[in-house]
Amino acid sequence: MSDERLRPRDPHSADEELLEADTLAIVSQLDDAARVRRMAAEIEMGFDRLRPLRGHAVSIFGSARTPADSPEYAAGRTVARRLGEEGFAIITGGGPGLMEAANRGALDAGALSVGLGIDLPGEPGLNPYVGIPLEFHYFFARKIMFVRYARAFVVLPGGIGTGDELFEAWTLVQTEKIRHFPIVLFGSDYWGGLLDWMREAMLAGGKVSPGDLDIVHLTDDPEEVCRIVCAAEELRPPAP
């Protein structure tokens, strides 16, 4: 191994600077007190910018790699438009692909279109349909905003990042950290196999309870998405 490979390098992101701070892989740029201040400032920024939503929004996730001429893109745009017509703001990760489709659908309905960007190497930046842009350094701070300011998650076909958000919310509902919070999987051909595996392996093996799998809803119908999300609204205590 060359001496160059042994030498610590500058971190590529604030997340890496934080999580690799106690290794020899990177150059540590901050002390813990400075990191805490930076985290607090980022969370405060999100609270301040998103407070006007009053939580009346839906977070929509999906692949950044889906082309704009695909049926999945058209379906994502329709789902977001229908939710926007029901009075919900739309929150996405702000990127291309299905995130762009959802932000575009929000604008089709005249709804607020929010994009929560994240500092990643090689990211293309926010899509042109984001009306309220926020940029985050830390994944965990961004995740707080997706949940706190939404009434539901709609999960379009996606990859590892989409799955991360799905299972994060699934865990929060299962452990009763959040309530009356629908999680809708859109695309039965895409998500059906995952649910089948969970029943055949996790449920059959006693790793989850039957009710755990009932937390999520699977549909291919944008109108059904709206019915599920709006039905949950009726269970919430009225706003003061």
Indicate the burial class of 49 (C-beta count within 10 angstroms; 0-12, 13-18, 19 or more): middle
In a domain, 31, yes or no: no
In a domain, 28, yes or no: no
Residue 155 above 50 pLDDT? Answer: yes
- The three-class DSSP label of residue 93 is coil
3-state SS, one letter per residue, for 32-54: HHHHHHHHHHHHHHHHHHHHHHC
38/90 Cα distance (integer angstroms): 27
In a domain, 162, yes or no: yes
177/143 Cα distance (integer angstroms): 14
- Which residues fall within 8 angstroms of residue 116, CB to CB, at 6 or more apart? 46, 91, 92, 93, 94, 134, 136, 142, 145, 146
pLDDT, tens only, 61-114? 999 999 999 999 999 999 999 999 999 999 999 999 999 999 999 999 999 999
In a domain, 93, yes or no: yes
DSSP E strand stretches across the chain: 57-61, 89-92, 113-118, 132-136, 152-155, 183-186, 216-219
Q: Predicted confidence band at 127 (pLDDT cuts at 50, 70, 90)?
A: very high
* Domain harbouring 68, CATH code: 3.40.50.450
* Residue 185: φ, ψ to 5°: -90, 120
Is the pTM of the predicted complex or chain greater than 0.85? yes
Which H helix or E strand runs over 79?
A: helix 71-85
Per the structure, the count of domains in the chain is 1
210/177 Cα distance (integer angstroms): 19
pLDDT, tens only, 33-46? 999 999 999 999 99
- Which residues fall within 8 angstroms of residue 224, CB to CB, at 6 or more apart? 217
In a domain, 10, yes or no: no
In a domain, 19, yes or no: no
In a domain, 17, yes or no: no
Side-chain half-sphere CA neighbours of 47 within 13 A: 6
Residue 1 is predicted with a pLDDT of: 45
Domain with 94, as residue range(s), is: 42-233
106/102 Cα distance (integer angstroms): 6
